[in-house]
Amino acid sequence: MPPSTTLVLLFNPLIFASIHCAGVTVQPADLYHLAQSQVDYILGSNPKGMSYMVGFGSNYPTQPHHRGASIVTIKKDPKPVTCQEGYQVWFNRDAPNPNVLVGAIVGGPDEHDGYIDSRSDYQLGEPATVTVAPLVGVLARVATNN
């Protein structure tokens, strides 16, 4: 068996299995509802009423920690921006990013549901593949269960 198929063969039978956790049996439907609640939280059903996906809903991060998104586009200002200007003039300003990263998911909130929309807070505000990638499969599953 090729190494790349090992996990598929191991976990496919578990798709419809129940899970035992702390003496409680958790059924697939319960896991689905948990996943759905986590998606809802990310998309705005949370104490802040904020979507952590940029561009989704009416209240979402406008200053994700992303250098390219924080610099004006040449379509609006054809003057070249040096690396130093990009950082000092654009990245450090306290205003919404001129380029909206639609679909990006920031890293926040903190463990107390706190989130400050500040480009300088890379820990909570940086969109990254490790944040979005796990959500893609969950969104695919949630979207097919309507």
What pLDDT is recorded for position 118? 95
DSSP letter, residue 116: -
Per-residue pLDDT reduced to its tens digit, 80-116: 888 898 888 888 899 999 999 999 999 989 889 999 9
Name the active-site residue from 33, 65, 66, 112.
65
Please indicate whether residue 66 is annotated as part of the active site: no
What pLDDT is recorded for position 8? 47
DSSP class per residue in 56-109:
SSSS--SS-S-HHHHS--TTT--S---HHHIIIIIITSSS--SS--TT-B----
pTM for this model (two decimals): 0.80
What pLDDT is recorded for position 139? 87
Residue length of the chain: 146
